[in-house]
Amino acid sequence: MDRSEALMRSVKDPEWRKSVWEPHLKKLSDEARRGAEHLRHAELEQRVIARTSELATANHELRENIAVRERMERSSSMKPCMTRAR
């Protein structure tokens, strides 16, 4: 039976269509669902990697800012107080 005959039979005979085409369509839809899940997982993984990198950069910048402020505080506390006598 060629494709055109199979198509015509599936149109005329719903039971044959159910027994022949539906399992094939279910298999295709299962594969498509698994493929879509795989893509979603890969996209989430990429988002996690990107966000982790952003957070690492922000954390590094904050630590640098803290170090600068601590150095400034230490240097200002070492300077003698200059007050004017009135």
d(CA 32, CA 36): 6
* pLDDT on residue 47: 94
The C-alpha angle with vertex 12 and arms to 26 and 31, in degrees rounded to 5, equals 10
Q: What is the pLDDT along the chain (86 residues), one digit of tens a residue?
A: 676 776 666 667 777 767 777 787 788 888 888 998 999 999 999 999 999 999 999 999 999 999 999 999 998 887 665 555 55
Of the candidates 18, 15, 9, the residue with the CA atom closest to the CA atom of residue 1: 9
Identify the residue whose tokens are 């005959």: 5
Whole-model pTM: value is: 0.53
Q: Contact 50/36 with Cβ under 8 angstroms?
A: no
